[in-house]
Structure 1
Amino acid sequence: MNKISVYVLAFCLSLGCTSVYSQNNNRRITTSNEQNSDVFYHTIERGQTVYAIATMYGVSVDDIYRMNPGSKEGIKAGAILKIPQKDAATVPAESLAGDYTYHTIQPKETLYSLSLKYTIPAESIIQANPGLSTSTFTIGKTIRIPATRIETLPTTEKKSVTKEIEYTIQKKETMYRICRKFNISSNELIKHNPALRNGVKAGMTIKIPVQAEETVVEVKKMPGEREVNALLSAPKDIKKVDRIKIALLLPFMTNEPVPSATTSRFVEYYEGLLLAVDSMRNMGCNIELSVYDTGNGVQKINEILKEDALQEANLIIGAVQNEQITPVANFAQKRNIKYVIPFTSKNDDVLSNASVFQINTPHSYLYSKAAQAGCDLFSDYNIILLDIKDKENKTDFIKAFKSEMKTRQMEYKELPFRPETFQTDIEQLLSTTKRNVIVPTSGSLDALNKFKSPLRMLAETKPEYGITLFGYPEWQTYTRECLEDFYALNTYIYSNFYADNLASNVQDFYTLYKTWYSKNLINTFPKYGILGFDTGMYFLGAIRKYGSNFENNLDKINYPSVQTGFNFHRVNNWGGFINTNLFIVHYKNDYTVTRTELK
C-alpha cells in the first residue's frame, strides 16, 4: 500500500443537578407562540458569513437573502437571522447537515421541556449537539434535534409468574400424592387451601399454585425533570490513552522523479512532526505514527482509509485538497477520531463535524478579531486609512475594521494615495494632540515601498506626530527589505503565526532541526517544519494529559508555541473547532520585537 515506514522515510528525507434554564440576557428572540415550525433564528457571531451560516444549516445563501433582505448588504455580530428549516426530502444522504430540525432556545426552556416537546430522549439531543452544556444552553442559541423519536408503543417482556389452577381430588388420593404430583409442599398447599386442615376428601376442588411464563406489558418510565436537566452539567470523564496512534496523510508525491517546492514543504512539515513525536516520547509518551502518501485526488485516500492504522487512530492529521479532506472528515466523524486540518482555511467540514480541528483561521474570523485588536490598540489614536489601489487590497479587513470603528463610535480619516503629494497630504491629516496610526489598504510589498520612506522621514524629522504603522501578516516576510522601517515607524502587525528568530525557543528549534536533518528550514512563511512541530506538541500533549476526549478541557491546554498559537473555538453546538488565536507583533522604536497572544 502507500504506508511509508517512519524510519525509512525519515532516513530518506534526511538525505535530501438542578433544573438548568436557558439564561443569558434579556435579549428577546421570539416567543414559543410566535415561533414558526418552518423557520428558526440564528444569532450572528463575530467572523461568521452568510455563506458559512447557510452551510452549517444545509440551506442556500439565497434562502437566507430571501428571508432577510438586508443581509445581502452585510451582516453584523449580534443581529438575528431568520433561517428556513430545510426540506429533508431535498437533502442528499451524504450532506454534512444531515436530517435534523433546528431549534432556537427560548426563555424558560430546559433540556427536559425540549425532550417532551420533540418526544425525543434528552440523551439523543446531547449526542446530536456535542458542545451542549450549561454555558451553551442559552437563550438564542441554536441546537439540532435529530429525527429519531421516542418509541410510543409499550415494551413487552416475558416474566415468570405464579398462577392458581383448580383441581378436583380423586378417590383414594392423599395429601402426599397431590403434593408429589404438583411438586409442592404440604404447607404451601394448605396455605392456598385452608380447608385441607380438616382432611383430604374425594370430590373437593382445591387451588394449586403453579409457575408459568407470561408476557408482561410495561411502559418505560421517563426520567424526571431534575435528572434530565442535570445531564448538561454532568462531569465528563477523561478517556485515557495508553498508546497514542497518529496517522499523517500528506501528498509526498513519491512517484515524482523530482519533488516540487510544494512537496518539499510537506516533507518539512512531516520532519517537524517527527521532532514533536521524539520530544513527547522523551517525556514518556507512547506514540505510534503511521505516514501515508495521499497523492492527488481521492483514489489513494479511499484506499488509505481501509488501513487498520486509520481504523484504530486517535488522531488523523493532514490531507490538503478539499476533495480529500471531506472523506477523511466523514471517516473520522463516524469513528469519533479527532481530525486536524493543518493547512487550508477554506474547508466547510468544520461547520457540521465535531471531530474536525481547523488550524488555519478562516479569513472572516481572522479579520474580525484583527479589527477588534486594532480598535483596542488605537482607541485613542488619530486613525488614517491610506487608500492604495493595489491588486492585493485588503478589502474585507478594511470593511471589518470600519465596521468595528463605527460600532465603537471611533472617528477615522481616509486618504487616497497620490505619490507626488503624499507627504503634504498626510501631514495635513496628522494630529499634534494624539498619536497617529496609518493603516494602508494593501498588504503588498509594492504598496509598502510606495509610502514607507516618506512616512519614515516624516516620523524621524517630526517625532511630535508619534507616527505608528498598522499592517498585515505578510509583512513579516518583508523584513529583509523593510525591518529598519518597521522599527522606525513603531509598526504593529496582526498574524495567526509568528516566529521571532531572536527568541530562544525559535533558535533552539532551528538548531534541533539542523542537527536531525543536516539542512536549514525552507525560507517561507509560515515555516512548515515549525507548524508540524507545534501541531504535534499541542495535540499529543492534549491527548496525553486529557485523553481522547481532550476537547472537554481545551481551556486548560496552554502550549507555548514556537510559531503557531492555538485557541480553538467550537463553531456551533454540533460542529468542530476553528483556531481563533491571533498574535499582535510589535516592532518597537528601541529595535526590539514583542509578540502578544490574543486568546
Structure 2
Amino acid sequence: MKQFLYLIFFFLIFSCGTASQAQNYKTHKIKQGETIESIAKIYSVTPFDIYTLNPDAKNGLKRNDVLIIPNSKIANTEAPQAVIEKELVGFKEHKVKRKETLYSLSKMYDVAQEDIKKHNTFLYANNLRKGDELKIPVYKKVLTVNEPKATTKDYTVLPKEGKWRIAYKYGITVTELEAINPGMNEVLKEGEVIQVPNLEKEAEKPIDDRYSYYKVLPREGFFRLKLKLGLEQEELEALNPELKEGGLKVGMILKVPYQAASSEEAEAEASSDLTQSITNSDTKHIAVMLPFKLNLVDTDSILDTKKLINTNPFLNKSLDFHSGVLVALDSLKKMGVSLKVDVYDTKNQLSEISSILRNNDFENVNAVIGPFMPNNIEKVSTELKRYNIPVISPITKNVTLTENVFQSRPSEDLLTEKIVNYVESDSTITKVIIIADHDNTKVSNDLKSKFYAASQVYSRKDKEGKDAHYILDDDIKHLLKPGKNVVFLETSHAGFISTVTSKLNAYITDDVKIILATTNMNDAFEDDEVSNYHLSNLQFHFPTISKMYNEDDNNSFAKNYENRFGVSPNKLAVRGFDLTMDVVLRLSSSEDLYTSVNDTPLTSYVENKFAYKKKLFGGYYNNTVYLVKYNDLKIVEIED
C-alpha cells in the first residue's frame, strides 16, 4: 500500500506542472468501522473509483491506512454546505438626494445595485436623478443546508435484462457496475434491486433494438475494433459520443450497427422456426408491388397472351413470383394469421408508382414487398419513409439502402467470402490450385492473395493470342499432392469446364483426393456439355444465394404448388413463397419488421434463408448464403 501511495504522489507532483493547477485527488485516513461504500458516499464517488486507485483495498480496510480519493465525476455532489439565501420581505421608500448614486444607495441599504434596478425598472434606460422616488427591497437572510446528492440509486432489474444492458444505460463498464454492487450474482434476476449511478433520467441511454452492443476487451484499441467490426473510429464515435471525451475503456459497452457482428456469428445462430412463435394476432396489412404490365395483355387473344408471357421478362417474372406469394398466403391463413393483402401493378413506371402511392392509403401498411427494379424501390421507400414502412427488395442485387429498405437478396461478395472461409478453415487440405481462363485473371489473383501457397494455372491461348479454353496434363498433374486437393475453377465457358473436370476425374486415386470448387456458380456449370457425373465425383462445392429443394423430402410447398398450378415451382416462385412467409411470420412474432431483426437473427424456408444486418447509416441487407456440394448426383447443403 505504501509503495503504491508513493507512486501516486510522485505522479501527481510530476504532472501538476504549476502550483495553481487543480488537484485531481484527495486523501482519506480510514477510521474505525468505515467501509468503501461509506467513504465513497462522503466524497461522491463510486467504490470502483476508489478501488481503481487503491487495488489493495479489495483485500480489506485497516484503520489509519490512507486512501487516494479521486474528485467526484458527478456534478453538484460536494459535501454538505451551508448556503445563505435572501428572502424578499418588503420595500422601503427613498427619495433621491443630490450626489446620491446607485453605488452609495446599495451601501446604505446593504442591497445589490442590480436588485435596486430590478424593482425600479426605469433605471435600466435612465440615469439616477435627484428627486427620483425608489422602492428599496428589504431582504431577510435565510440559512439553507444543501445535502449532497447520492452517487447511486436503487434500480429494479427488468425481464431478460443482463449486466451489459444496465451498464450501457448508465454509461459505465460492467466491471464498474459490479464494483458498485459487491457480491452481485453472475446472472441477474427479474425484480432484483441493485445500485446504479444516480443520473438524471434524461442522461440515461436507451437500448435501441435495431443495433447491436459490443463489450470492449482488454488491449482493444480503435485499430483492433476496425479489424474486428469493420468500423472506423469516426463511425464508432458517431454512435458513441462519449468516446470523444473519455476514449475506449476495457469493459465499456459500445453501440454498433447490427452488421458489425461477424457473418460467422450469424451463421452460428440456429435457424428459428417462426411458425411456432406467432404471438402478434393483429391483422397484417401487406402490399405487393410487381411490374406485371397488364396494360399490354390482350385478354381476347390466348395466343397473344401466351406469346407476351414468354417474351415479356417483367410479366414472366412477376407471374412466377406472385404464384409463390399466393401459395404462401394460403399457408399463412391455415396457420390462423389474419391478413389484408393489396397487389399493385407498377408497370415498371415511376409515374404509375406515384399514382399508386397518391391514390391509395398506405399509412397503416405493415410492409411492402417489391417492386423489382432499384429506381422503383427507391421511389417507394422514399415516399413511405415518413410512415416508417419497411420496403423489401425481392430479387435486386444493388439497392440504395435507406433506413426503411430491406435487401433480401444477399450480395455477390458474400458468396466468395463463404467458400473462401470454408476452405481456409479446413486444416486437412494439402494443396490449393486455382484454374482460370484469362477473363477471370482478377478472380484468380484475389484467390491467390487468400491462399499464398496456391498454384495458379491459366487456360492456353491459340496462335493469335486469344484464349483457347483448354489446359494440358502437364499444366496441372504435377501440382496435385497426396491427400486432399481443392481446385478452384473460375470461368463462364462450358467447354473449358468440361475439359478441366474430365481431366481432374482422371487424376483421382486412392492417395490423391480432388474437390472442385468455384466462387461463381454460373449457367456454364449446368450446360449439357458438362458431365454431372464428373461434378458429383469431384464433390463440386459452391456458394449460392438459394439452395435447391429436394423433391424426395416430401416438401409440402411443392405439393401445394403443383396441386394449385399443375407444374413444379421454379426458383422465382419459391422465392416469392419464402420471402412472403418470412415477412409475415416476422411481423406475427415481433412488434414490427425492424425489431424482428434482433428477435430472430436467422430464418430459413424452402430454398432461401434470411439474416438481416443493419448498415451504419442506412437500411438492412441479408447477410447469409448457402454452401452446397454435389453428392451422388444431388445438390446438398454443407453443414458448417
TM-score over 0.5 (shorter chain) = yes
Aligned to 1:473: 521
The whole-number CA distance in structure 2 between the counterparts of 1:547 and 1:447 is 52
Q: Does residue 596 in structure 1 map to residue 635 in structure 2? A: no
1:583 counterpart letter in structure 2:
Y
Matched, 1:490 2:532: no
C-alpha contact (below 8 Å) 1:245/1:288 kept by paired residues? yes
Distance 1:321 1:113 in 2: 40
Letter of the 1:339 counterpart = V
* Equivalent AA in structure 2 for residue 534 of structure 1: D
Unaligned runs of 5+ in 1: 1-16, 31-40, 47-76, 83-101, 118-132, 142-237
Count of residue pairs brought into register by the alignment: 385
State the match for 1:580 in structure 2: 623
Preserved CA contact (<8 Å) 1:473 1:496? no
- Distance, in Å, in 2 between the alignment partners of 1:280 and 1:450 is 48
In 2, the alpha carbon distance for the partners of 1:516 and 1:253 equals 23
Question: Quick one: structure 1 residues 277 and 476, their matched pair in 2 at CA, closer, same or farther if it must change by over 3 Å?
Answer: farther
Structure 1 residue 427 corresponds to structure 2 residue 477: yes
How much has 1:285 moved relative to structure 2? 0.3
Q: How much does 1:343 deviate? A: 1.1
CA separation of 1:332 and 1:376: change in aligned 2, threshold 3 A: farther
CA distance in 1, matches of 2:614, 2:435: 35
Determine if contact 1:387/1:417 at 8 Å carries over to the other structure: yes
Tell me if structure 2 keeps the 8 A contact 1:252–1:263: yes
Cα 1:324/1:528, change in 2 over 3 Å: same
Are residues 489 and 317 of structure 1, via their aligned partners in 2, closer, same or farther at CA, if it must alter by over 3 Å? same
Question: Structure 1 residues 274-283 or 443-452, which shifts more?
Answer: 443-452
Cα 1:245–1:310 shift into 2, 3 Å? same
Instruction: Verify: 1:242 aligned to 2:247, yes or no.
Output: no
Aligned match for 1:136, one of 255, 268, 271: 255
Shift of 1:45: 7.5
Asked whether the equivalents of residues 597 and 613 of structure 2 are also in contact (C-alpha less than 8 Å), the reply is no
Correspondence list, 1:76-225, <5 A: 104-105=236-237, 134=253, 136-137=255-256
Q: 2:574 aligns with which of 523, 530, 540?
A: 530
Are 2:210 and 1:24 aligned?
A: no
User: Is 2:490 the counterpart of 1:441?
Assistant: yes
Q: What SS class does the counterpart of residue 336 from structure 2 fall into?
A: coil
Relative to structure 1, is the Cα distance of residues 467 and 112 closer, same or farther in structure 2, using a 3 angstrom cutoff?
Answer: closer
Q: Give the root-mean-square deviation of aligned CA atoms.
A: 3.4
Give, in whole Å, the separation in 1 of the partners of 2:524 and 2:581.
24
Distance 1:332 1:452, change over 3 A: same
Instruction: For structure 2, list consecutive stretches of 5 or more residues without a partner in the other structure.
Output: 1-165, 174-213, 247-251, 261-277, 298-307, 461-468
Q: How far apart, CA to CA, are the structure 2 residues paired with 1:285 and 1:458?
A: 56
| Structure 2 residue 447 is the aligned partner of structure 1 residue 401 | yes
Cα gap change, 1:564 to 1:444, in 2 (>3 Å) = farther
User: In terms of Rg, which structure is larger?
Assistant: 2
CA distance change for structure 1 residues 476 and 389 in 2, over 3 Å: closer, same or farther? closer
Q: Whole-Å Cα distance in 2 between the matches of residues 299 and 379 of structure 1?
A: 58
SS at match of 1:449: helix
CA–CA distance in structure 1, aligned partners of residues 500 and 558 of structure 2: 34
Gap change, CA 1:592 and 1:519, over 3 Å in 2: closer
**Residues 1:280 and 2:472 aligned together:** no
Match of 2:396 among 328, 344, 352: 344
SS in 2 for 1:366: helix
Does the C-alpha gap of structure 1 residues 103 and 579 become closer, same or farther in structure 2, counting only changes over 3 Å?
closer
| 3-state SS of 2:376 partner | helix
Tell me: CA distance 1:453–1:103, structure 2 relative to 1, closer, same or farther (3 Å): closer
1:92 is matched with which residue?
A: none
Alignment equivalent of 1:450, drawn from 499, 502, 509: 499
Judge conservation of contact 1:244–1:287 (CA < 8 Å) in 2.
yes
Report the secondary structure of 1:312's partner residue.
Answer: coil
Please, which of 350, 354, 363 is the counterpart of residue 412 of structure 2? Answer: 363
TM-fit CA distance, 1:378: 6.7
Instruction: Name the SS of the counterpart of 1:497 in structure 2.
Output: coil
SS in 1 for 2:531: helix
**Corresponding letter in the other structure for 1:263:** L
Matched, 1:542 2:586: yes
**Aligned amino acid, residue 279 of structure 1:** S
The 3 A distance-change label for structure 1 pair 467 and 366 is: closer
Amino acid at match of 2:420: A
CA shift in 2, pair 1:335/1:580, >3 Å: same
Shift in Å, 1:482: 3.0
CA-to-partner distance for each residue in 1:102-160, whole Å, 9 max, x for gaps?
65429xx966687x99xxxxxxxxxxxxxxx955359xx9xxxxxxxxxxxxxxxxxxx
For 1:317, the equivalent position in structure 2 comes to 369
Deviation at 1:500, TM superposition (A): 3.3
Which whole-Å CA distance do the structure 1 matches of 2:240 and 2:565 have between them?
57
Q: Contact between 2:561 and 2:568, CA under 8 Å: does it hold in 1?
A: yes
Match of 2:343 in 1: 291
3-state SS, counterpart of residue 410 of structure 2: coil
- Counterparts of 1:502 and 1:378 in 2: how far apart (Å)? 34
- 1:417 matched to which residue of 2? 459
Report SS of the residue matched to 1:305: helix
Contact 1:242 1:286 (8 Å CA) reproduced: yes
Q: Please tell me whether the aligned partners of residues 252 and 294 of structure 1 are also in contact (alpha carbons under 8 angstroms).
A: yes
Identity of aligned residues (%): 19
Cα distance, 1:478 vs. partner? 0.8
SS of match in other structure, 1:136? strand
- Is residue 554 of structure 2 the alignment partner of residue 511 of structure 1? no
Say if 2:280 and 2:591, in contact at 8 Å, map to a contact too.
Answer: yes
Give the counterpart letter for 2:481 in structure 1: S
Give SS of 2:579's match. helix
Secondary structure in 1 matching 2:362? helix
Alignment of 1:552-567 (within 5 A): 552-554=596-598, 556=600, 558-567=602-611
Partner of 1:331: 383
The CA deviation at 1:311 is 2.6
Evaluate the alpha carbon distance shift between residue 334 and residue 367 of structure 1 in structure 2; reply closer, same or farther with a 3 A threshold.
farther
Rate the CA distance shift 1:377–1:516 in 2: closer, same or farther, 3 A: farther
Could you say if the C-alpha distance between residues 372 and 475 of structure 1 is closer, same or farther in structure 2, counting changes exceeding 3 Å? farther
Letter in 2 for 1:473: M
In 1, the alpha carbon distance for the partners of 2:512 and 2:502 equals: 16
1:512 positional shift: 1.5
* Preserved CA contact (<8 Å) 1:435 1:467: yes
Q: 1:586 to 1:570 in 2, by over 3 A?
A: same
Match of 1:521 in 2: 569
**Contact 2:486–2:515 (8 Å) recurs in 1:** yes
What is the alpha-carbon distance in structure 1 between the residues aligned to residue 228 and residue 315 of structure 2?
37
- The one-character-per-residue Cα deviations of 1:488-540 (angstroms, maximum 9, x if unpaired) are 112111111111334425x4333221211233435xxxx10000000011111
Report the Cα offset of residue 239 of structure 1.
Answer: 10
Per-residue CA deviation, residues 256-289 of structure 1 (Å, 9 max, x unaligned), is 2323244212211011011111111110100111
Distance 1:378 1:290, change over 3 A: farther
Q: Which has the higher contact order (CA 8 A, sep 6+)?
A: 1
Q: Partner amino acid for 1:272? A: G
